């Protein structure tokens, strides 16, 4: 992994101390990362999900996007998932895709840990 | 035999240094440049001026004990330690009178011999050297840690133009009569400058193949062409110099197996760089050509950018933009990004916009990252497999429309800009503008690029040389 991707993974480990953070090198300097488990919040019936995403070799200039969670996440109010959340797949695994791009990304401050935290907060508050 | 030692100075630093050395009093003044050291492929060295320390008259620059003036020991110590901390070459500077010719005096050389062995010990690695400037000339005495000592070959002031400074005007080689008509514009000296140039072309597709032909026909001496892709029927109309026999090998194979029943194979199709090399050699039989089948995001390929005198970015990926944009500022090499865009309404098929674009990337001054031209989300998309991209996008990837004449507009303007920036750098080199040309519209659309002083690309990386990693792939295991 590039030094920048390594640092991102280390920061994710610190940011999610109650979860297992697994980073698999993609062979080009990037990494496929899984964080498990994470609580998506009371808006959902399921209170545990894994989170999966790719950190590209050109991180921190590359966005951490999209982010994937378990495909069977169901809203407690029974409503459909809103725009930005749709069924897809990551690799051969079915998943809900959370499509939240960063606007005007600042590579000095917009870390992977910050992005994942923001997206999970967005998921929690849908 | 060692290749030449050269110096590259950003225009803004040169302006500041000139104002300090030549304030109009006719006197001598002093300064120090800290320069990143970049070994070049010919065994030489590029010094990239990264930091300028101005010596204040009467405080840091005093009457000398053996020469006319001297830098104080305290100033030397501060600057040398600053250079040592950052592994920069230490280059003290002063000026002489005169315009187009300059050299060190005997007292100058004697002071080098007294002081530089000790300075080399302090720096412990990078070279130490002196520079002396006249109005339009520079001489350098560069001391290497291994004991060798070399004259500076030349300096390039890198801005909207590439002004070349030497110790004395050189006699140009006799121009090949083949270039007589263009040498009447630039003179033998200008044509000779072109012959000495190394141009890197990233992407040898529709736009890049045109740049390749133009640059070769202008008499540039060395081209490095980089592309990983092959010719096929879909890009054939736009690849300048592609011939029907280039596709024949594949057709013959298909005919042999009975008309393609077993599917397609492109193993016999030539690489785009091979066609570009053929075109360049037909245009200029004496050209030196490096055809690299490779990806600019591979570190070994990207490092070729640091050796260039100019870069043409004709590849359409965001990943390529990020690498080249960084290299421009990190290695002080100017670039021209060229392209053409045809925007179509996906639902109606109507044309929304059509334009050709040229963006001159001036080291330390104009930057694609500052101007929002490198999409972070597209960098993320390009990092995953095509299959995963399809899964993520919900829609099929559709090839963008592409037309040779739109490519020709952008590339002709870009190569002209490059040509005049090298051969006639004394022309007005004011503010750099980015230009879009639209068919049927007489006036091009001009954009003055903005600069963000906190930008990680054009400001923080300026003249970093090999002291910083390029945003390329790595196979390094964590």
pLDDT, tens digit (0-9, with 9 covering 90-100), for A28-50: 999 999 999 999 999 999 999 99
| Mean per-residue pLDDT, B333-348 | 91
Burial of residue B462, with CB atoms counted within 10 A of its CB: 0-12 exposed, 13-18 middle, 19 or more buried: buried
Tell me the pLDDT of chain B averaged across its residues: 90
* For residue B92, pLDDT beyond 60: yes
Does A29 contact B394 at a Cβ distance shorter than 8 Å? no
Here the tokens at position B96 are 């002489």
Closest CA–CA distance from residue A33 to any residue of chain B (Å):
13
pLDDT given at position B351: 85
A93 touches chain B (CB under 8 A): no
Give me the sign of the Cα torsion angle B468, B472, B477, B478: positive
A27 touches chain B (CB under 8 A): yes
Phi and psi (nearest 5°) for B85? Answer: -60, -35
pLDDT given at position A65: 92
* For residue B67, pLDDT beyond 90: no
Does A28 contact B473 at a Cβ distance shorter than 8 Å? yes
Which residues on A lie below 8 Å from B475 (Cβ)? 27-29
**Angle at alpha carbon of residue B161, lines to B356 and B189, rounded to 5°:** 115
Measuring CA to CA, how many Å separate B416 from each of A125, B276, B277, B311, B435? 55, 19, 21, 14, 13
Which residues on A lie below 8 Å from B477 (Cβ)? 1, 25
* For residue B17, pLDDT beyond 50: yes
Nearest to A25 among B376, B471, B478 (CB): B478
pLDDT given at position B321: 98
Per-residue pLDDT tens for A72-102?
999 999 999 989 999 999 989 999 999 999 9
Does A90 contact B388 at a Cβ distance shorter than 8 Å? yes
Per-residue pLDDT tens for B226-277?
999 999 999 999 999 999 999 986 555 444 444 444 444 555 799 999 999 9
User: What confidence tier does B398 reach under pLDDT thresholds 50, 70, 90?
Assistant: low
Closest CA–CA distance from residue A82 to any residue of chain B (Å):
16
Which residues on B lie below 8 Å from A2 (Cβ)? 469, 474, 476
Does B478 contact A1 at a Cβ distance shorter than 8 Å? yes
Q: What pTM, to 2 d.p., does this model score? A: 0.94
Burial of residue B118, with CB atoms counted within 10 A of its CB: 0-12 exposed, 13-18 middle, 19 or more buried: exposed
| Mean per-residue pLDDT, B11-19 | 96
What is the rounded distance in angstroms from the CA atom of residue B375 to the CA atom of residue B383? Answer: 12
Per-residue pLDDT tens for B94-151?
999 999 999 999 999 999 999 999 999 999 999 999 999 999 999 999 999 998 999 9
Residue whose token pair is 């003179």: B187
Nearest alpha-carbon partner for B418 in B318, B315, B313: B313
pLDDT given at position B60: 95
Does B472 contact A86 at a Cβ distance shorter than 8 Å? no
| Mean per-residue pLDDT, B422-444 | 83
% pLDDT > 70, chain B: 93
- The 10 Å Cβ neighbour count of residue B85 is 9
């Amino acid at each position: 992994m590039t030094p920048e991707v390594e640092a991102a993974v280390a920061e994710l480990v610190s940011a999610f101390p109650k979860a297992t953070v697994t980073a698999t090198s993609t062979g080009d300097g990037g990494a496929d990362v899984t964080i498990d488990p994470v609580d998506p919040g009371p808006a959902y019936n399921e209170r545990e999900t894994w989170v999966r995403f790719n950190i590209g070799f050109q991180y921190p200039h590359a966005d951490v996007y999209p982010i994937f969670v378990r495909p069977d996440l169901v809203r407690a109010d029974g409503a459909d998932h809103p725009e930005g959340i749709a069924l897809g797949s990551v690799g051969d695994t079915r998943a809900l895709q959370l499509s939240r791009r960063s606007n005007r990304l600042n590579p000095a401050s917009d870390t992977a840990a910050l992005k994942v935290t923001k997206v999970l907060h967005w998921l929690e508050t849908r | 035999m060692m290749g030449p030692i050269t110096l590259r100075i950003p225009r803004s630093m040169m302006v500041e240094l000139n104002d300090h050395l030549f304030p109009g009093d006719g006197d001598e003044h002093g300064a120090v440049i800290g320069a990143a050291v970049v070994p070049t492929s010919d065994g030489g060295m590029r010094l990239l001026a990264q930091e300028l320390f101005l010596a204040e008259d009467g405080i840091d620059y005093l009457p000398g004990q053996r020469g006319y003036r001297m830098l104080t020991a305290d100033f030397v110590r501060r600057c040398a330690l600053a250079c040592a901390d950052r592994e920069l070459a230490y280059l003290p500077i002063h000026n002489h009178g005169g315009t187009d010719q300059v050299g060190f005096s005997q007292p100058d050389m004697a002071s080098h011999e007294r002081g530089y062995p000790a300075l080399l010990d302090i720096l412990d690695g990078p070279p130490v050297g002196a520079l002396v400037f006249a109005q339009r000339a520079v001489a350098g005495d560069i001391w290497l840690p291994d004991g060798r000592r070399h004259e500076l070959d030349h300096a390039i002031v890198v801005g909207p133009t590439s002004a070349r400074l030497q110790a004395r005007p050189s006699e140009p080689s006799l121009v090949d009569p083949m270039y007589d008509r263009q040498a009447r514009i630039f003179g033998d000296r200008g044509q000779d400058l072109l012959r000495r140039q190394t141009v890197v072309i990233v992407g040898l597709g529709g736009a890049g193949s045109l740049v390749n032909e133009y640059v070769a026909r202008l008499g540039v001496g060395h081209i490095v062409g980089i592309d990983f892709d092959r010719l096929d029927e879909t890009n054939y109309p736009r690849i300048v110099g592609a011939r029907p026999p280039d596709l024949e090998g594949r057709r013959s194979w298909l005919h042999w197996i009975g008309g393609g029943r077993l599917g397609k194979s492109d193993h016999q199709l030539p690489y785009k760089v091979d066609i570009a090399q053929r075109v360049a050699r037909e245009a200029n039989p004496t050209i030196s050509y490096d055809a690299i089948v490779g990806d600019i995001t591979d570190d070994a390929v990207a490092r070729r950018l640091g050796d260039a005198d100019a870069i043409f970015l004709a590849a359409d990926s965001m990943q390529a933009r990020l690498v080249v944009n960084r290299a421009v500022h990190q290695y002080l090499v100017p670039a021209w990004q060229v392209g053409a865009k045809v925007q179509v309404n996906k639902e109606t098929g109507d044309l929304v916009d059509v334009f050709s674009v040229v963006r001159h990337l001036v080291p330390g001054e104009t930057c694609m990252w500052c101007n929002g031209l490198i999409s972070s989300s597209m960098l993320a998309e390009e990092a995953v497999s095509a299959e995963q991209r399809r899964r993520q996008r919900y829609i099929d990837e559709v090839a963008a429309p592409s037309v040779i004449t739109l490519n020709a507009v952008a590339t002709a303007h870009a190569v002209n800009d490059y040509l005049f920036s090298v051969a006639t750098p004394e022309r007005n080199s004011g503010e750099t503008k980015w230009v879009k040309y639209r068919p049927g519209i007489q006036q091009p659309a001009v954009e003055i690029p903005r600069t963000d002083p906190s930008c990680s690309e054009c400001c923080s990386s300026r003249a970093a040389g090999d002291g910083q990693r390029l945003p390329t792939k790595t196979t390094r295991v964590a």
